[in-house]
Structure 1
């Protein structure tokens, strides 16, 4: 192997190594979704269940009869967008927080009330239940019990951090 070919090989390996390290850093910092167990907003910390598949996002907190005071569900979408939510078959009021990919709160809906919990037909629910969504793109959505935002004095324009239970 010539010196030139060897240097090119070293450069390619170096670039691949840098890309791998950058991917691992960004995945663990922003999108290592499998390890997330808690969300911190301001001084408040919420223990979260992850809704990181299509099926989990579709079901969300439907049919739940209760939610702990500092517990919630973190919806993780494959890409940013104006993701909308509704309260069909949701039994408890919720606060909903939309979070951008750069971990900023972009929209909040407080104390959103249940809708269609009496076993209505899906077509009827679609006509009855209002949808909620941001005007800006979000990658993540956090649902917590209704009143949580007010009780924790959460600003409508704050930053958010994700943690695993090992880093708390």
Structure 2
């Protein structure tokens, strides 16, 4: 009986090489996919999501991490060009006057829900908005704030008109 180590070495080398190749392929894929998806679609001059001031809001027992759009340029951009939001992430729009403030979804790539609020944080209206549309979304009531979240967020949390959002920045 003749015994050769060559087939055994070949099998062992293959058994070691295959997992290493898979590990390298996974690492290469992660290098390209872990970059924020919104970074490549932001036009020059657009504010990056991390550049907005942030505030922690509460809606009942839920904590919201909200970017704040409190000037014309920030309100104009809002969540445009974003392709994703974290589960409790949103954008708070702060207005200097008590009025009906309408929204549309031009260049907004993800569907959103919006809650319109009075100065004390009471929600007056909630609306669902489809991505990349120019339909107007206007509340029935005047207000100072609007909060955009991922579509269906308010419904899934049981948040309705008449409830309050706490932690709003003061009006100026």
TM-score range, shorter chain: 0.5 to 0.7
1:40-91 alpha-carbon deviations (Å, 9 max, x no partner): 1122211010001110000111111111110000000111110000011110
Normalized per residue, the structure richer in helix is 1
Cα distance in 1 for residues equivalent to 2:89 and 2:116: 16
TM-score normalised by length of structure 1: 0.66
**Aligned 1:11-160 pairs, distance under 5 A:** 37-110=55-128, 112-116=129-133, 129-160=134-165
- More relative contact order, 1 or 2 (CA 8 Å, 6+ apart): 1
Instruction: Indicate the SS of the match to 2:139.
Output: coil
TM-score normalised by length of structure 2: 0.64
Instruction: Indicate the SS of the match to 1:85.
Output: coil
The count of corresponding residues between Structure 1 and Structure 2 is 118
Change (3 A) 1:163 1:36: farther
The structure with the larger Rg is 2
Structure 2, unaligned runs of 5 or more: 1-51
Cα distance in 2 for residues equivalent to 1:56 and 1:155: 26
Structure 1, unaligned runs of 5 or more: 1-33, 117-128
Normalized per residue, the structure richer in strand is 1
Cα distance in 2 for residues equivalent to 1:146 and 1:35: 22
Is the contact between residue 41 and residue 159 of structure 1 (CA under 8 Å) also seen in structure 2?
yes
Which 4+ runs in 1 deviate beyond 3 A? none
Cα distance in 1 for residues equivalent to 2:168 and 2:78: 21
Cα distance in 2 for residues equivalent to 1:115 and 1:160: 27
Cα distance in 2 for residues equivalent to 1:109 and 1:44: 19
